[in-house]
C-alpha cells in the first residue's frame, strides 16, 4: 500500500517524536527510497533538530 507525500511528511515528523508502528515505518521507508522530495524533507527536519539543540550555545564565545 503506497502512501502519498503528504502522508509521508506527517509520518516523518511523527517518527521524530515516537516510535512509529512497524507497518507505518515500512511504508515510510519504502516511500523515502523512491521519493526525493520527501527524502529531502526528512533530511531537513533531522538537520533542524540538530540545529535547534545547539542554538543556545551560540554566542558563548562572544
**Residues near another protein (CB under 8 A):** 4-7, 9-10, 13-14, 16-18, 36-41, 43-45, 47-56, 58-60, 62
Contact 8, 1 (CB under 8 A): no
Within 10 Å of residue 26's Cβ, how many Cβ atoms?
12
C-beta closer to another protein: residue 29 or 43:
43
Least separation in angstroms between CB 55 and another protein: 6
Non-local (6+) Cβ contacts of 2 within 8 A are 27, 30, 31
C-beta closer to another protein: residue 28 or 38:
38
Amino acid at each position: 500500500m503506497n502512501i502519498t507525500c503528504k502522508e509521508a511528511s506527517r509520518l516523518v515528523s511523527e517518527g521524530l517524536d515516537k516510535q512509529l508502528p512497524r507497518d507505518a515505518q515500512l511504508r515510510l521507508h519504502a516511500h523515502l527510497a523512491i521519493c526525493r522530495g520527501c527524502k529531502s524533507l526528512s533530511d531537513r527536519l533531522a538537520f533542524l533538530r540538530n540545529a535547534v539543540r545547539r542554538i543556545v550555545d551560540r554566542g558563548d564565545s562572544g
